[in-house]
Amino acid sequence: MQASPKRNRGRRVAVVGAGSWGTTFGKVLVDAGCEVTILARRPEAAQEIQVAKRNSQYLPGVNLPKRLRATSDPARALEGAEQVFLAVPSQSLRENLAELESYLERESLLVSLVKGVERGTSMRMSEVISDALDLDPDRIGVVSGPNIALEIAKEQPTGAVASCVSLAAAQEIATACSGPYFRSYVNTDVVGTELGGVLKNLIALAIGIVDGVGYGENTKASIITRGLAEMTEFAVTQGASPTTLSGLAGLGDLIATCQSPLSRNNTAGRLIGQGFSLEETKQQMQQTAEGITSVGPVLELARERGIAMPIVQQVQMVLSGRMRPKELGPHLATEDDVPRAELSLGIGKQGAWRRLLGRMKGGRA
């Protein structure tokens, strides 16, 4: 690795979460020149990173930088941190923030690296942060992109988007996390950047499922392409710009996650496609697969806005055992629908959507 960039010299930041992404992101920040402390919930995990410069559970075989610090003490981790990067599972973020609130610096930026939505509220993580800490949106950022942790931990080059409604804050975040192998671009479309990361997980589950069944590249290409249309329509109805969904945080991450056997969402889908139940799959997965918990809240929001997401709908039906994996395919959702223009985003409420809603009655994944 090249010498640390000077522009981040003296910049203190913290990462909350010592799993595969929190640890990798800590390394990205150190290699970008920041002074980084990771907050781990288990003292032994903090100790291993701090002393052995390893995280054997989540990043086997990876040597972490000497300058990367870790602790399980929130006061020590957050002291002086001008940016706090959050890398815990979406369903625990609210309770984690409540525990951290009293240790946060008054001016610090809170940056979500989390790619899920909250069950029960259907909130995006930036909304959860705002709600839990009563922060102004210009202190809340998001970093998202095609960022498979293990590849980045091995210093394979990639890009991401740092987003905040304040362009100046987005630039600060991007500066902190741009280094020799990780380049951050900026935008102010927090909704689009965040939803790109959430929605690609659902399409990656679909890809994993059809892969597990044994379907080939035509099926997967159809799902990826129609999946991007579903992602874009959904995100736009939530206030996103469509261009964000065709950038790194949308299409970029969709490609990475759908292609990589390292993706946990893709892997979870593959196990289900091979015939394992959702419970068996969760037991086999030792890491966070956000798509499994996001599918319900996303469909809830889609229903509220009256938009159809046939692929995501089918993923939910497969996860809940109401559809066989081999039935999942973009063509099945439109078999009794009126033919329509391929590039139209609007999927409409008629035909297949109603039929799917009918089949859905009786529970959710």
Ligand X SMILES: O=C(CO)COP(=O)(O)O
Please identify the residue of the shown chain whose CB is closest to the bound ligand NDP. Answer: 19
State the binding string over 93-132 for ligand X (x if CB under 6 A, else -).
----------------------x-----------------
Q: Which among 303, 230, 26, 260 has a CA at the least distance from the CA of 143?
A: 26
For residues 352 and 340, what is the distance between their CA atoms, to the nearest angstrom? 13
Select 148 or 240, whichever has its Cβ closest to ligand X: 148
Task: Give the one residue of 24, 50, 265, 314 binding ligand X; rule: CB under 6 A.
Answer: 265
Pairing between strand 12-16 and 140-144?
unpaired
Determine the Cα–Cα distance for residues 25 and 308; give it in Å rounded to an integer: 35
CA distance linking residue 359 with residue 37, whole number of Å: 49
Q: Binding string to ligand NDP for residues 77 to 96, with x set by CB under 6 A, is what? A: ----------xxxx-x---x
Q: Does 21 bind ligand NDP (CB under 6 A)?
A: yes
* Annotated catalytic residue 154: no
DSSP 249-263: IIIIHHHHHHH-TT-
Beta bridge partners of 253: none
Residue 327 backbone dihedrals phi, psi, to 5 degrees: -85, -10
Which residue from 257, 294, 314, 334 is in contact with ligand X, where contact means CB under 6 A?
257
Position of tokens 């039935």?
327
Which ranges of 154-289 does DSSP label H, i.e. alpha helix? 167-176, 190-213, 217-237, 242-245, 253-259, 264-273, 278-284
> Of 66, 154, 200, 326, which one is the catalytic site residue?
200
Q: Which partner from the list ligand X, ligand NDP, none does 316 bind, CB cut-off 5 to 8 Å by kind?
A: none
Residue 147 binds to ligand X (criterion: CB under 6 A)? yes
96 binds, among ligand X, ligand NDP, none (CB under 5 to 8 A by kind): ligand NDP
Rounded to whole angstroms, the Cα distance separating 128 from 298 reads 15
Q: Which residue has the tokens 């609210």?
A: 94
Asked if 19 interacts with ligand NDP (CB under 6 A), we say: yes
Contacts with ligand X, 208-247, as mask; x by CB under 6 A: ----------------------------------------
Per CB under 6 A, the segment of 222-230, 284-292, 302-310, 353-361 that binds ligand NDP is 284-292
Rounded CA separation 126/137 (Å): 8
Q: Tokens 């069950």 — which residue?
A: 119
In the complex, which residues of this chain contact ligand NDP (CB under 6 A)?
A: 17-22, 41-42, 45, 58, 87-90, 92, 96, 113-116, 147-149, 287-288, 290
* Residues annotated in a binding site: 17-22, 41-42, 58, 115, 145, 149, 200, 253, 263-265, 290
Supply the residues annotated as catalytic. Answer: 200
In the complex, which residues of this chain contact ligand X (CB under 6 A)?
A: 115, 146-148, 201, 204, 253, 256-257, 263-266, 290
